[in-house]
Chains A and B, each alone.
Chain A
Amino acid sequence: MNLSFRRKAVNAVMLTLTGVCTVLVAGSLLVILGYLAWNGLASLNVEFFTKLPTPPGEMGGGMANAILGSAKVLLVAMLIGVPIGFMAAVYLAEFGSGSFSGVVRYATDLLNGVPSIVIGIFAYAIIVLPMRHPSTFAGGVALGIMMIPIALRTTEEFLRAVPVSLREGAMALGASRSRTIFTVVIPAAKSGILSGLMLNLARVAGETAPLLFTTLGNPFWSVGWMQPTATLPQMIFTYAISPYDDWRRQAWAAGFVLLVLVLTVNAAARFTIGRTSARGRS
């Protein structure tokens, strides 16, 4: 009887503890979102998305240049990181064997673990210094390098998940190995690969450290790809530590916008995946 009471007590305590921690996990997201909204929503208006920043002391203005700047940097990053990661994943999943692939996978994991600021310094050294000024391109290279490992691992995983029977089916019809990969295997893994890309973008969209010294920042529109540019994370950093109330409110608003963007992309990725697995079952 005594023993059974103890068991029940331990069970109740553990259940409460795990429950509370679960609530904390979900709750912290809601708290962050709520706090950002509380502080930033007041500055969130049409001007925020359409106007350039104003000088300190002058009210109003927006972050249109930073939003466009972030989009441009992410585009460059995607064009660099995704093809490299994707093609390497095709090699590893379809042709790779033995120790070489193992080494590549291990190197990928290490690359994934490299602190983002170190990647920033690297991009600074190889692009910003020779060019003598920061640029959209340099920021894109830094984020692109960060995208490679995730692009590789997610693509490889989804390619491997394509059943052998599909590959055999295509090859039994006379398709070569590479034709099978490009006409059957990759299309079958398409939505998985696409959702991996979205999650990857969402992850690097908020990276700040590598951008501080590769894109620097710019209070005006950035022309072309070789000029310094404002980006959302960098604007949050600059505005949040400024002494002006109006700027700090705008930093909260920018944070809110960035978070909502990331959450939207995440949700879209999950939707894409969900649809795939539902189709796969039929």
Chain B
Amino acid sequence: MTDNLDTMSPRQAREPEAQQSVTPGNPSGGAPYSKSTIKLSAEHLNFYYGDFQALHDVNLSVHEKQITALIGPSGCGKSTFLRTINRISETIRHTRVEGLITLEGSDILKMDVTSLRRRVGMVFQRPNPFPKSIYDNVAYGVRVNGIDKGKSLDEIVEQSLKRAALWEEVKDKLQQSALALSGGQQQRLCIARALAVDPEVLLLDEPCSALDPIATAKIEDLLFALKSQCTIVIVTHNMQQAARTADDTGFFLLGKLIEFDRTEVMFRKPSQKQTEDYITGRFG
């Protein structure tokens, strides 16, 4: 367990919330959710691929303007859970959802899927820029959803690229193909593309798994910067990444949410034996 204390990065320790001591009255022993409300919540969520049940009775709440990390071994259902939040899971045939997912209290399964996806953006495991120019990539979602009044498309593109910390690298070649960018740049482009429609929630499905450590560090820095503007849910295989970046962490195993708590609690004294085994590297 002491190993895991070392993995907590200085960045995380500098977060004011993380320095707060254990507060009585919070049963989990973690820092309280100061001024933070529940943005997104899943209740009794089951998910099926045909006959195979991928999620079993998942209950989880994501707090506004926090980073929530979902960890667990491959095939544990964490990506599936993420993909049900913006209902991109529906694009696969023979899938079925049971239970309730609410975004600010309203049931997402009853929402218009287009407006849901405008509010809940997603970044995928492998960078998936469209074979178009950098500009057209970022502008895509805006063109699909219509432009907000008072802003030009050029402004939105510039602003989004700046928010994704990519502007300085691409400002002189906006009309070049996005496929000519490096992997890390492509992934930040995909983040810029998602940010262009100003989502309230940003889902990231192992966004750094195809990237080198330097590109990974850039994306993590970016997440900290974005936290003040939107709610972030990130699926990761990398436990150090969860420890470094997340406020809350959930541990999935075999389709079940084993434990969900403040990140420092999860990594210092998890209440479940399975969580402890996983984060100390005994399996997975």
**Residues on A facing B (Cβ under 8 Å):** 97, 163, 165-176, 179, 183-184, 187-188, 279, 282
Q: A165, A171, A173 — which one has the most chain B CB atoms within 10 A of its CB?
A: A173
- Interface flag for B193 (CB, 8 Å): yes
Report the Cα distance A168→B193, complex, angstroms: 13
Nearest 4 CB-CB pairs, A to B? A173-B141, A165-B128, A172-B122, A169-B128
- Interface flag for B121 (CB, 8 Å): yes
Kindly report which residue of chain B lies nearest to residue A166, judged by CB atoms. B128
Q: Choose among B118, B131, B141 the residue that contacts A188 (Cβ–Cβ < 8 A).
A: B131
- Interface flag for B65 (CB, 8 Å): no
A-B contact count, CB below 8 Å?
71
Contact A279 B131 (CB under 8 A): yes
**Residues on B facing A (Cβ under 8 Å):** 86, 88, 91, 93, 114-115, 117-118, 121-122, 124, 126, 128-132, 140-141, 144-145, 177, 179-180, 190, 193-194, 197
Output the least CB separation between A92 and chain B (Å).
Answer: 15
Contact A165 B91 (CB under 8 A): no
14 further contact pairs, Cβ within 8 A, besides A174-B141, A174-B197: A165-B128, A167-B91, A168-B124, A169-B124, A169-B190, A170-B130, A171-B88, A172-B124, A173-B197, A174-B144, A179-B144, A183-B140, A188-B131, A279-B177
With A173-B121, A173-B197, A174-B144 known as contacts, the answer to whether A168 contacts B126 (CB < 8 A) is no
Contact B91 A171 (CB under 8 A): yes
Interface residues of chain A: helix, strand, loop or mixed (majority): helix
Between-chain CB contacts (< 8 Å), 18 pairs: A166-B131, A168-B88, A168-B91, A169-B124, A171-B117, A172-B88, A172-B117, A172-B121, A173-B118, A173-B141, A173-B144, A173-B194, A173-B197, A174-B115, A175-B140, A188-B131, A279-B131, A282-B180
Q: A163, A165, A167 — which one has the most chain B CB atoms within 10 A of its CB?
A: A165
Contact A282 B179 (CB under 8 A): yes
Give every chain A residue within 8 A of B122 (Cβ-Cβ).
Answer: 168, 172
Kindly report which residue of chain B lies nearest to residue A167, judged by CB atoms. B91
Give every chain A residue within 8 A of B140 (Cβ-Cβ).
Answer: 170, 173, 175, 183-184
